[in-house]
Every structure is written in C-alpha cells, then in structure tokens.
Amino acid sequence: MKKPSQKNNVRKTGRKAPKARRDRELFAMSLPAILWYLAFCYLPLFGIFFAFKQFTPKPGESLLKNLFVNSPWAGLDNFSFLFRSSELPQILFNTLFYNLIFLVLGILIPVMLAVVLAELHSKFFSGVVQMVMLLPYFLSWVIVGYCLYGFLATDEGQVNHVLRMFGAAAVQWYQSPGYWRVILILVEIWKSAGYAMVIYLCAITAIDRTLYEGAKMDGATFWQRVRYITLPMLRPTIATIFILRTGSLLASDFGLFYQVPLDSNSLQPVTQTLDVYVYKALMTQANFSFSAAASFLQNAVGCVLLIIANAVVKKTDEDSSLM
Amino acid sequence: MQIRKKKTFDPEEYTAAERSVFSKRTNIIVSILFALLALLVFLPILLVIIVSFSSESSVTELGYSFFPKAWSLESWRYLFRSGTYLTRAIINSFLITAAGTVLGLVLMCPIAYALSRKTFRWRRAILVFLMIPMLFSGGLVSTYMVNTQILHLQNTCFALILPGLCSTWFIMILRNYYQTAVPDSLIEAAMVDGGRQFQIFLKIVIPITTPVMMTIALFQIFAYWNSWYPALLYLDSNHTELYPLQYVLVNMQRSIDMLAKDAQYMSGAQTYTPPAVTVRMVLVVLAILPILVIFPFFQRFVKTGMTVGAVKE
C-alpha cells in the first residue's frame, strides 16, 4: 500500500519541482510588500489594546512592555468616559451629519452631471470640462484651504471686499460658525464632485451604444433614456460607491475639518468630527486612552456598517455587492 | 440631410452627436452651462494664481482681487532670492515624492504580479492578508505610537515616505491589469524555457504593462506631493529642514492668520519670519504648478486608474 504512493510522490515531486520553485520565487517577490504590511498595518493592530488599557507608560521602557505589563486593564472604562464626555454627542452628530449629506449629494450631483455631460455632442469640449472639474480633486486640503482663504479672509478676502463695495458690513468668516456647515459642504462638493462625475461618465461610456440607438429610434425622450437605460446600467457603480461610503460613515476627511477651517476654535462646534477629535486628544491633550477608544469605536462601527451595507445591497441586487 | 451631416462632421463627433438626444440648440445651451460650471470650479485656483502676480500694494488696497490694480513679479523674485528655507522645502517635496513613488512601485508591482498568477500556491492567503487592513486598522493612536516608539520614525524623512508606500487598492488595480493584459501563454512559454519568475516579470510583464504603472505612479505622485498629515504628526519645529512644501504652507497660515488661531498656536515656535501676503500665494501656486503641468498629459492614465478601480473584481 505504501510503496506505490511513495513512488507516486517521487514522480509527482519530480514533475512538481518547477512549480515549487515558481511558488518560492513568487513568494520571494511578495516578501518586501508583506514585510511592509507587517510593519505598518499589522504591528499597529495590537494597539487595539490601547482602548482597553489605562495607559501609564514608564519612561525608558519599550512600548510593548508599557502597554501590556505596566498598564492595568481598564475594561470598558475608556468607553464609558468617552460616552460621558459632553463633547461626544456634538462630535458624533457632526460626523454623521456631514457624511450623510456627502453620501447623498456625492452620488446625486455627480450622476446628474455625468448623465447630461454624456449627451454633449463635442467630445473635445466634454474632455476639457472633465479635466477642469477633476482638477480640485488632486489638490491637497492645504491648497484648498488657501483657495478658500482668498475668498473668506477678513481683511483681504474677496467676499468681504464685495460686501463692502455694496455697503454691507464685513463678516469675520473664520469666527462665525453659522456659515460653516454650508461652506464645508460646498468645499467638499467642489473638491470631489468632478472625480465622481468622471467615474460615472466612464461607466456611461461603457454602456452598449445599441441600447441608446434603439431607444432613440423608438422616440424615447431624454428622461426616459436616463430612467430606463442609464440609471439601471449605473447601478453597480453607484452600489459600490454607496457601500464604501457607508462603511466610512464615522470617518471624516481630517484635512477638510481641520485645515480648511484653519483649526479655528470658534468654529469648533460645527467643524469638530471624530477624526479631528482623535487627533486633538492624542496630540494636544496626550490623552491616549480616550483617543484610542474613539478610534476603536470608529473602526468597529465602520467595519460593521460596511458589512451591513454590503448585505443590504446584496439583498436588493445580487450582482452589485462587493463581497 | 443625414448624408450631408455625415460628410461635414468629424467621425467621432458624429457618433456622439448621433447618439445624443440633444438637439443642436439644447446642445449649445447645455455646453454653455457646463463651460460656466467649469469656470466656476476653476475660479478659486485662478484667484490664487492672480494674487501671486499682484503687487503688494494692490492687495492691501483691494484685497485678494481678480482684478488687481497692478501686476508684479516682486513676490516671485523675493521667493527665489530669499531663504534657503523655502527652496529647501520645495526640494524636500520633490525628493519625498520621487522616493515614495519609486519605492512604492518597487514594493507593489512584484506582489501584484505574484497575485496575478492563478496557480500560485499562497495566492488566496496573501490576498486575505492584504484585505484585512482595508477592513480594520489599529487607528491613529497605535499607528502613531508604533511609528514613533518602535520604528523610531519621528523627525526623520522616513516618517514622510514609508507609511504611504503601499495600498491594497493599488495592488488590486495592478493585479487586475496583469491578469487581463498579460496572456498566460506568454508566461508559460517563458517558464518552459526555464525563465525565473523575476526575470519574466522584469523582461516580459513590465514592458507590456507600463500604462497601468504610469497610472499608479501618477496617483502616488499626487498623494506624496500633497501630503502634509505625516509632517504634522511626526515632525516637530526643531526639524524645519525636513518640512515639505505643503507643511510649510500649513505653518505659514497658522503663524499669519491671527484671527483664526488661539493662544496655543501663538505660543507655538515660529522659526521664520512670515513673508508678505502675496509670497504665500506664490508658494501655493508653486504647490499647484506641478499638478497643473502633469495633469493634461496624464489625464488618460488617471482615467485608466479610475475605471480599473471602479470596476469590482
């Protein structure tokens, strides 16, 4: 019984040798990236414990020892502190408020623009429009902050200049929180709508042209075409973006909420989101446990939301889900 | 009518026009609307460019205006005459961008190739290994603590380069492209000839997949050129010689804009004297310029990346 199988094995390995060598070589090629992932993605994963420990580092000792040996377990204390914090409701509200609006407008506006832009006769003109509208996406939030500052600066800003020209009083924009919900939404749309629009436009150009030709022959109007051809065909793309955005409902763009309002204290009630809070708790208050608990919460909720959103999409449309 | 149209229209344009439901008049109206929209989108950038060429006195009188009283190259000249500090920042940004882009490709392309081989034994395991960080990460606190206390990246240029090198998203884009653009028969033939995987990758795969590499390179260039968050986290004010351009801009805004900041930042170390208002805008334009210059040439690569990225596996 044993002998033949052994023989077989010998023969197999004889044939398999190049395969094993190939696997070794391919693994060697993956190794540098794997090491990078270990150092920069997996090593920080143990930091989840920060959220459940009362971090009390002793100077001169290694981080791991400080975290696991020197720091006592805190159970869920960090979280209960976090939830009792008077700031948290506002922070959560801000994060969800902006994200929900970005989720809706971030799909609605680009799809509308793409649907209309796809109908333009001149491809060259459409290309130029796409290029200009894509540009803000590739600027950093720092640059965006400066561009906005050009309009909103109290003394030199263009908006106040116009206001004064018409005899109105100048507004101290960076100290008037009332305007900033609208301003931040406009800035976000300005920066990202073009990019999303081009994604949808690419999806529209990939739609089979004969569908449109048939519809045209049948005398379909613009709205009918959009309703019955374009939107159904865009569904997978929209679903993908919807799932990804839902997964990051508690995440926020740090640059938009920290750098664009210039970290102004008076704007904090409307600009402080979870990411800004995590950063400030860590860097300005050195409150590790607090910050870690907030960031754990963000991560866990994000993970769950992603799975839920995916399941919901899967239920309504099998092909459009991500996983 | 139809035939005459066909003759006068450019073939590509003809099909677009034919496909469209817009009549000529609607087309013109919608085109004008889009032209206005594009102009509106470009205005903020235009404003910054105009201010950088305005004279200082014009700005004090009219503010940041689209129609300055007098044009001047003064602030541009000032910048190039003045400080090593600012030129240093520009050079830093270039070096960081180059290093990050090249190193990132060196790490990501080989693993993407390995993952594109369907019979690779560890393929699934490595895929899962790469996907997990997309779902769950350690968060800012532990990332910060690991990078400073275990990897000791604080106040080194590595802090600005290493953390952003790889992205699972980019690896997947590369892998998808390798899978579709490189015929399996080609690689099998090379393997029969006894070719080593790395040689096959270098000599066969790389040359026929340059477009996707350009795409990824481009995204990395933009990401590194625009990055300022790592500098905010890991560089302190005693290491201004490492500051990239974007972070210098962050600091400048902090130190000049008295209204917006609180006492905490006022006490923050200021290692340089703030230059005049227009000079700031010159720096902003310098930070936008490389993007503006590469952008039109590489737009098609950007689109490749976006379409490959938007299509799920």
Q: Does B282 touch chain A (CB under 8 A)?
A: no
B86 or B92, which is more confident: B92
Domains and CATH numbers, chain B: 2-78 (no CATH), 83-274 (1.10.3720.10)
B274 phi and psi, to 5 degrees? -65, 130
B14, pLDDT greater than 70: no
The token pair that represents B228 in the structure block? 């300022």
Do A99 and A153 belong to one domain?
yes
DSSP secondary structure string for all residues of B239-305: GGGG--HHHHHHHHHHHH-TTT--HHHHSS---S----HHHHHHHHHHHHHHHHHHHHHHHHHHHHH
Interface mutation target, options B39, B61, B137, chain A, most CBs of A under 10 Å: B137
Segment A99-123 mean pLDDT: 91
Number of structural domains in chain A: 3
pLDDT surpasses 90 at A199: no
- Measure CA of the first residue to CA of the last residue in chain A; give whole Å: 45
Chain A nearest CA to B150, separation (Å): 7
For A308, the token pair is 């839920």
Instruction: Name which of A262-276, B45-59, B60-74, B139-153 the model is least confident about.
Output: B60-74
CA B211 to chain centre: 17
pLDDT at site B84: 67
| Count of alpha carbons within 13 angstroms of residue A219, beta-carbon side | 0
Give yes or no: residues A73 and A128 share one domain. Answer: no
Which pLDDT belongs to residue A303?
87
Q: Say whether both A71 and A128 belong to one domain.
A: no
**CA B228/CA B245 separation, integer angstroms:** 8
In this structure, the answer to whether residues A269 and A155 fall within a common structural domain is: yes
Q: Could you say which of A19, A122, A209 has the minimum Cβ distance to residue B13?
A: A122
Of residues B129, B111, B127, the one with CA closest to residue B165: B111
Q: Is residue A261 part of a domain?
A: yes
Residue A43 lies in a domain: no
In this prediction the ipTM stands at 0.85
Question: Tokens 């039109």, residue?
Answer: B296
In a domain, A76, yes or no: yes
Helices (H) and strands (E) in chain A, counts: 15, 0
Residue A77 and residue A95 share a domain: no
Asked if residue A97 and residue A78 are part of one domain, the reply reads no
Residue A271 and residue A243 in one domain = yes
Does A16 lie in the same domain as A113? Answer: no
Tens of pLDDT, residue by residue over A216-252, are: 788 888 888 888 888 988 888 888 888 888 888 888 8
Q: Which pTM does this prediction carry?
A: 0.85
Q: What is the mean pLDDT of residues B284-309?
A: 77
Question: How far B23 CA sits from the closest chain A CA (Å)?
Answer: 9
Of B111, B284, B307, the CB nearest to A30: B111
State whether A151 and A265 are in the same domain: yes
User: Does one domain contain both A69 and A33?
Assistant: no
Domain span at A31: 1-37
Partners of A138 on chain B (C-beta within 8 Å) are 222, 226, 291, 295
Distance CA B115, CA A37 (A): 15
Pair (A93, A79) in one structural domain? no
Check whether A323 has a pLDDT greater than 90.
no
Burial class (CB in 10 A: 0-12, 13-18, 19+), B2: exposed
Residue A42 belongs to some domain of the structure: no
What percent of chain B has pLDDT above 70? 82
**Residue B105 DSSP SS3:** helix
Mean pLDDT of A302-320: 82
The single-letter code of the amino acid at B37 is L
d(CA A259, CA A146) in angstroms, rounded, equals 9
Phi/psi for B82 (5° steps) reads -80, -165
The reported pLDDT for the residue numbered A218 is 83
Question: Would residue A204 count as lying in a domain?
Answer: yes
B101, two tokens: 């882009």
The predicted-structure confidence for A126-161, as pLDDT tens digits, reads as follows 888 998 998 999 999 999 999 998 899 887 888 888
Confidence band, pLDDT 50/70/90 cuts, at residue A320? low
Average pLDDT over residues B14-25: 70
Task: For chain A, give the mean pLDDT.
Answer: 85
**Segment among A240-244, B39-43, B80-84 with least mean pLDDT:** B80-84
What are the b/e assignments for A175-211, b being 16+ CB within 10 Å?
A: eeeeebeebbeebbbbbbbbbbbbbbbbbbeeeeeee
Q: Does one domain contain both A20 and A128? A: no
Let me know if residue A140 belongs to a domain. yes
CB contact under 8 A, B20 and A174: no
